[in-house]
Amino acid sequence: MTVQRKVVLFAFIHSFLFTVALCRHSRTDIVDDQGTEVETQSLNGKWILRNNNGSFNLPAEVPGCVHTALQKQNLIQDPYYRFNDLDYRWISLENWTYSLTFTVPHATRRMKRVVLVFDGVDTVSTITLNGVTIGTTNNMFRSYEFAVGGLLVANDNILVVSFMSAVTYAAQRDHAHSAYKVPPACPPLVQKGECHVNFIRKAQCSFSWDWGPSFPTQGLRGVELQAFNFIRLQSSTASTVWDSSLSCWNVEVELSFDVVVATDGCFTLVLPELKLFQKFQLSIKPDQPRQSLHLQIPSNVSVDLWWPNGHGQQTQYLLFMEGRTESRVTFHTETKVAFRTVELVQEPIPSSPGLSFYFQVNGRLIFLKGSNWIPAHAFQDLVTPDTLRNLLQSAVDANMNALRVWGGGVYEQDTFYSLCDELGIMVWQDFMFACALYPTEQDFIETVREEVVQQVRRLKSHPSIIVWSGNNENEAAIATDWFGIPVAERPRYVKDYVTLYVENIRAIVKKEDSTRPFLVSSPTNGAESEKEGFVAHNPYDPHYGDTHFYSYLSDCWDWRQFPRTRFASEYGFQSWPSFSTLSKVSKPDDWDYSSSFSEHRQHHELGNSQMLLQAALHYILPNSTDALKLYRDSLYITQVMQAQCIKMQTEFYRRSRSEIINGEGNTMGALYWQLNDIWQGPSWSSIEFGGKWKMLHHLAVDFFSPVLAVGFEENETLKIYGVSDLSTDLNLTVTVTVYQWSSLTPVCTLVSDPCMLKGGVAMLMIQYSVPALLRDCGKCSRHSCLVTFDLRESANPNSQHGPTSHLFLTSLKDSGLLPVNIKASVERDGDVFAFTLQCDVVAVFVWLDVEDIAGRFESNGFLLLSQKRTVRFHPWRPTTVEELLKKLHITSLRDVY
């Protein structure tokens, strides 16, 4: 916001708000010495933490958890170091107790209602105050409030949160559920995790996942005492609703009050940037604690819409709510609202069985480009706003516009969604259920209901969230029988499924939020699944809904094996993080691709060999006789494999957006699995724990580029598609350049006739017979040459749209790739460093690494086709040319054998 705009805003608020906020003068029958406002006292800070038998007794920070408290007191090492996840398993099997001694001012204690507000309790606990049980908890995804009036004493008050091990609790709940089993009982052994996580409302991945450790910790988010005599505002949610019949926007503010004494109140909503305000008279009674305020935006006031990244601005408007009751309680909230509509379009498509599946924001079709989000740390108290910003900015910098917050993790903190609003990242928000069947006992359903209500109210004001989704893969788990359930017993599980996700979760979401679509699962056939009773015969059907697709051993360079789905919401390949990231949690004995450490960190059955088998289809595997180089090269080759595989697959999805072939196509989303990591280990991520980009993330910048040339071969024909996410048409030519591996001078260059690439379309721009192209270029064979291509404005060949793409005409292991000797020099340029690379033959997958000097190269993992190329490096901490040169490793594909 500019200074000038701020001044205008302030003047507006000043002149309107404070002079008009009061509708009437307050009555005077309120005794003056009774406090009218809510007294809040934070109980965050230093608590005492004890284990079962008292052998541990230590200070512990709230917000915080047991593991971080123990580590902070140096009672344990970094839990992520080597095998510590197993060595520290005992921590999660203990029952820990957090306690706090605190005093409360007399005036606060005297107030009519005193409430303890727990922002989050992870997970199973009994809470006592001065020896009296005030409540129990069993769900980390909701907040809790307990009335404690009358229990507070003049001197020291003792608040004790006695946790029970989440692992013990889950086992007990499973045991108690004796009528029938709710699978899976335990994770696969390779995950080294705990059992029965589906019986506890806790991050499902905290009991281990195929990319992460088992750390089912115990802990507390914020704790606060709130005391008041009359009324307290518990929550407020602002949202915007498009009224299509009146063609106007409404701003809706929902308020939840905790009411001691019924009162009338006067409230004002102010949208200062739109110079709008409206007053409301409310009558607030204890039995009607929820109220809503509607402000209609007059049709002669124009609002700027919120758009996803790449499609326009992310405009948000300040919204103030001021209120005052007759009991002279005042309220003030300050939030942001944004105006955008979202629809999920599922309708018949000509020439195809099935239904379309695409998102339309503000009436515009949007291809969702991005990835899947998992928790950024096993210990959520260690996730800082900086961590989130770095990861989300990395997504935007790779031209992403969407992330799916996956259902096995957590509903993210507010900052996450605010950043997504600001950056234009559309969020596909799962509810936190994943890869399992779930029980439906009364108390389980009740706690889930409260969780869903709270989360929807907390999150619905965020324009970034475009869809709610009930669970991850649970429809598929039943439909394709992951858990060996006898056919005769299936109806019971389908019934539980419908009870939980449809009759409860969906019903609540529909009631609480009419502004975005709801899907019951992912993957799902969407409307077709609903027709089939919510569990479709084949939820992976490419003619409907979204698809998850993994195939680790089939050749990822062969696009024919990918499903031509309507929407690819998960697909991926594993890789290892870089040596500098791994060396923080390992020691020299571990630095071998088949060490016990390498085995231990791999949580996906056969994952380490799958990576090499896939890599070996196209690359010569590293074979250095230097053990450390061999290890580093092996990490490198897994990143090359992953980056190229996901590039191939994503380009296939993007070029399929406008076509129907054999009834399949019109793909409108590509979200690869997965963006980020929870620890330092092999996984499907494109960003390492700590924020370092893998090669995949660097390639994503190009393959998610708004305008892209995609080349592929079909029956010996090179086809080049243009893909555009723009809303304007481009008159383009395709420039095809053929190189020999041995030379940086092109063998030949062909320029196509001008061709119109329409906005929001993928289309074939040009095609060549490969044998003819090679013959006509002369001196070329599939083994000796490679092809590059790009899109340029036909009226101005210097104006290129999108990156220069390339296609290998044969596996690189069979190609004439020559040994290279890349020379590098580094120069400081202000806060950044310019690396200049020189070489005289073509080099592929050129990778610059400066070990633990955190920062980001502007480009990496690239094809080096010029004698000189400069790549800038942005360090995140002070460094020098000398340090950079000392730590620089340059690796290209030809350097590993």
Ligand X SMILES: *[C@@H]1O[C@H](CO)[C@@H](O)[C@H](O)[C@H]1NC(C)=O
Report cis status (omega within 30 of 0) of the bond before 123: yes
**Minimum distance from CB of 893 to ligand X (Å)?**
12
**Quick one: 236 or 638, whose CB is closer to ligand X?**
638
Identity of residue 612: L
Q: What is the Cα–Cα distance from 239 to 338, expressed in whole angstroms?
A: 8
DSSP annotation of 391 reads H
* CA dihedral (372, 377, 378, 379) positive or negative: negative
Strands 368-373 and 669-672: parallel
**Quick one: 53 or 728, whose CB is closer to ligand X?**
53
Helix (H, G, I), strand (E, B) or coil at 343: strand
Helix (H, G, I), strand (E, B) or coil at 863: strand
Q: What is the Cα–Cα distance from 756 to 722, expressed in whole angstroms?
A: 10
Other beta carbons within 10 Å of 496: 17
713 catalytic? Reply is no
Q: Which residues is 300 bridged to in the sheet?
A: none
**Minimum distance from CB of 51 to ligand X (Å)?**
6
**Quick one: 449 or 758, whose CB is closer to ligand X?**
758
**Minimum distance from CB of 896 to ligand X (Å)?**
9
Listing DSSP states for 469-521 in one string gives ES-BSHHHHHHTTTT---GGGHHHHHHHHIIIIIIIIIHHHHHH--SS-EES-
Helix and strand element counts for the chain (H, E): 21, 52
**Quick one: 290 or 783, whose CB is closer to ligand X?**
783
**Minimum distance from CB of 757 to ligand X (Å)?**
11
**Quick one: 188 or 298, whose CB is closer to ligand X?**
298
**Minimum distance from CB of 90 to ligand X (Å)?**
5
Q: Which of 252, 273, 473, 688 is catalytic?
A: 473
**Quick one: 55 or 155, whose CB is closer to ligand X?**
55
**Quick one: 345 or 627, whose CB is closer to ligand X?**
627
Q: What is the Cα–Cα distance from 669 to 25, expressed in whole angstroms?
A: 56
Please report, for residues 559, 560, 562, 668, the alpha-carbon distance to residue 556 in angstroms, rounded to integers and kept in the order given: 7, 9, 8, 21
Q: What is the Cα–Cα distance from 658 to 851, expressed in whole angstroms?
A: 43
Listing DSSP states for 536-577 in one string gives -S-TT-TTSS-EEE--SSS-TT-GGGS---S-EEEE---B--
**Minimum distance from CB of 681 to ligand X (Å)?**
27
Please report, for residues 613, 736, 818, 897, the alpha-carbon distance to residue 841 in angstroms, rounded to integers and kept in the order given: 28, 19, 7, 17
**Quick one: 432 or 640, whose CB is closer to ligand X?**
640
37 catalytic? Reply is no
Helix (H, G, I), strand (E, B) or coil at 591: coil
**Minimum distance from CB of 843 to ligand X (Å)?**
17
**Quick one: 8 or 527, whose CB is closer to ligand X?**
8
Burial class (CB in 10 A: 0-12, 13-18, 19+), 213: buried
Give the binding site for ligand X (CB under 6 A): 51-53, 55, 90, 93-95, 164-165, 168, 298, 300-301, 620, 623, 625, 714-715, 731, 754, 756, 794-795, 897
Listing DSSP states for 179-232 in one string gives SS--S--S--GGG---S-GGGSBS-GGGEEETTEEE----EE--EEEEEESSEE
**Minimum distance from CB of 890 to ligand X (Å)?**
19
**Minimum distance from CB of 861 to ligand X (Å)?**
22
**Quick one: 52 or 799, whose CB is closer to ligand X?**
52
Identify whether the C-beta of residue 449 lies closer than 8 Å to the C-beta of residue 511. no
Q: What is the Cα–Cα distance from 385 to 394, expressed in whole angstroms?
A: 14
**Minimum distance from CB of 597 to ligand X (Å)?**
24
Q: Which of 570, 651, 664, 688 is catalytic?
A: 570
Identify whether the C-beta of residue 820 lies closer than 8 Å to the C-beta of residue 841. yes
Q: Active-site residues: which are they?
A: 473, 570
